[in-house]
Structure 1
Amino acid sequence: MFKAALLGATLLVTGAAAGTAMADTLADVKKAGVLTVATEMQFPPFDFLENNEYKGVDRDLIDEVAKELGVKPKYIDLPWTSVLPGLEAKKFDLVIAPVTITKERMKRYAFTVPISEATAAIMKRTDDKSINKPEDIAGKKVGGGKGTSQLAQLKEYAQTLPTPPDVREYVDSNQSYADLAAGRIDASVNSLPNLAFAAAKRNETFTVVQPPFGKPSYFSWVGRLGDDDKSLIEAVNAALVKIQKDGRMAEIQKKWFGVSQELPTTVPEPQL
């Protein structure tokens, strides 16, 4: 009886271990034929809605990645503040909202290879002659997206100025741009690609202040840390590198940024 009980316990433990070993997000994705991804569709040119249709850099890139994986993408639109918590809660497979690679985030998330340059910069109203370089925002009202790396960098940069700017936090960058256009704030902070896109769309209203004030940085997609998700991140990385090498990445970049970017094909060590 003792041997039988011991054998039963051994089988139970072995079965549990096997079940754990078999957990694999990539295998689940391929079995379902669907890669479920989340982003905030209020971050042009990366993610936005036009006539209720999802468009942008991330949409074009994830469509190509899904083709490489042999699955169909399913897109979820969430407020930025819900995107990373939703990933941790396993409500979807991957975050394709562009996330700046930082040392702190690398402790919590698995980053893909970069999908874009992400250095923080400032945008002003075109008719504002008082802001001509980043340090001219001293004492001004400056807005940015709540919870973003760019806003965090702005707060850090503000401490180096003789008079810190009045930093305003917004639910999304578009609200910041609206207040900038209306004169309720003096400048907006975001990544250089985002601001360049906004300024190109409305050059009579917005102008990007050069040079960018932030440290060189990159946007990537993120997944969960852990063995279950490792194969998915590796497969997405392989697809992104292939898309970069065969020219599809450059085509997407030129479509949305007007120029192509040279990006690392491995996850870089963050400076932030």
Structure 2
Amino acid sequence: MARHPKLKKLAFVPAFALTLSLAACGDNGSDTDEADDADASAQEVDLVEPGKLTVCTNLPYEPFQFTEDGEVVGFDVDLMDLVADELGVEQEIVDIEFDVIQSGTALNAGQCDVGAAAMTILPEREENLDFSDPYFDEVLGLMVEKGSGVESLDDVREQGLSLGVQAGTTSLDHAEEEGFEPAEFPNSGAQLQALQAGTIDVALQDLPVVENTWLENPDIAEEYELAEVIDLEAQYGFGVQKDGNPELLSVINDVLAEAREDGTYAEIFEKWFGAPPTE
């Protein structure tokens, strides 16, 4: 279990705090009542451990969640920090297998309050989890060795090359739908190591991992390249226990909406992906 301290973001003012500040500056009783109701709503959220928002994730999955200088950071981590701030608690991160998160097992066992692991919203997962509103578009990237002549999954099939994916992910689902029997790895780090060791010939992974992490490394970019971009027309969501924590789900959705409206989401997005989000 790796603990991530609550981040201080001077540019971000939690909605509850903002409402309270406005109420303090005026005599509008309705504003005060609304602030009290919002604060009470936050207090009603059941947490696995009081005073903490316990978040299950799978490391490393840069730039969404990974360890840097002994601290867990990333896009999902920053968004969950906003939720923790709204609740007036700190975020604590639990690193476990992705399959245990997406199946709902970890949440049902009380290991965490929310799953935040670049998790695609899929019908089969919605049977096990309640998802938040979408927060990121799902696109895959195929990484291959430079000079291999591989430009698509069709080329991988025609050349009889071995394909590697991360277990329990949409990369696995897509590969199997395309008729492959890919090698499966517990996380993106193990997948990359297998590619570099020659255990697999090509890797199918979420595009931000390929483009914003793997190929940002000069040594990797010297030997490998992005061959194909595959838009699955799906989106990521945060997951809570199925029918188990509607109050927390409501807070998460409110925080995401507020962050999009006040520009905080765009700031966090550009911080981790190098460019603002497209509408």
TM-score bracket for the superposition, by shorter chain length: 0.7 to 0.9
Superposed displacement of residue 31, structure 1: 9.5
Q: Please name the residue that 2:147 is paired with.
A: 128
Q: Which amino acid aligns with 2:191?
A: S
Q: Which amino acid aligns with 1:47?
A: Q
Superposed displacement of residue 172, structure 1: 1.3
Instruction: Work out the CA distance in 1 between the residues paired with 2:130 and 2:168.
Output: 19
Structure 1 stretches of at least 4 aligned residues deviating more than 6 Å after TM superposition: none
Matching of residues 1-272 of structure 1 within 5 Å: 26-29=44-47, 32-83=50-101, 84-125=104-145, 127-138=146-157, 139-157=160-178, 159=179, 165=180, 167-197=182-212, 198-201=214-217, 202-212=220-230, 214-226=231-243, 228-262=244-278
What's the TM-score once normalised by structure 1's chain length? 0.78
Higher mean C-alpha displacement, 27-36 vs 247-256? 27-36
Instruction: Work out the CA distance in 2 between the residues paired with 1:238 and 1:262.
Output: 21
Q: Secondary structure at the match of 1:124?
A: strand
Q: 1:30–1:235: structure 2 CA closer, same or farther, 3 Å change rule?
A: farther
Q: Which amino acid aligns with 1:135?
A: D
How far does the alpha carbon of each residue in 1:223-251 deviate from its partner, in whole angstroms, 9 at most, with x for none? 0121x411110111100111122111111
How many residue pairs are counted as aligned between the two chains?
231
Q: 1:239–1:152: structure 2 CA closer, same or farther, 3 Å change rule?
A: same
Q: Which amino acid aligns with 2:250?
A: E
Superposed displacement of residue 169, structure 1: 0.9
Q: Which amino acid aligns with 2:152?
A: K
Superposed displacement of residue 220, structure 1: 1.2
Identity of aligned residues (%): 27
Superposed displacement of residue 211, structure 1: 3.0
Structure 1 stretches lacking a partner, 5+ long:
1-23, 160-164, 264-272
Q: Which amino acid aligns with 2:123?
A: K
Of structures 1 and 2, the larger Rg is shown by 1
Q: 1:148–1:26: structure 2 CA closer, same or farther, 3 Å change rule?
A: farther
Q: Secondary structure at the match of 2:259?
A: helix
CA contact (8 A) 2:46 2:245 kept: no
Superposed displacement of residue 70, structure 1: 2.1
Q: Which amino acid aligns with 2:238?
A: W
Instruction: Work out the CA distance in 2 between the residues paired with 1:26 and 1:204.
Output: 52
Superposed displacement of residue 143, structure 1: 0.2
Superposed displacement of residue 177, structure 1: 1.0
How far does the alpha carbon of each residue in 1:140-163 deviate from its partner, in whole angstroms, 9 at most, with x for none? 111011111211111112x2xxxx
Q: 1:153–1:240: structure 2 CA closer, same or farther, 3 Å change rule?
A: same
CA contact (8 A) 1:34 1:73 kept: yes
How far does the alpha carbon of each residue in 1:186-229 deviate from its partner, in whole angstroms, 9 at most, with x for none? 211111122112222342233222332x5211111100121x41
Superposed displacement of residue 42, structure 1: 1.4
Q: Which amino acid aligns with 1:38?
A: C
Structure 2 stretches lacking a partner, 5+ long:
1-41
CA contact (8 A) 1:100 1:219 kept: yes
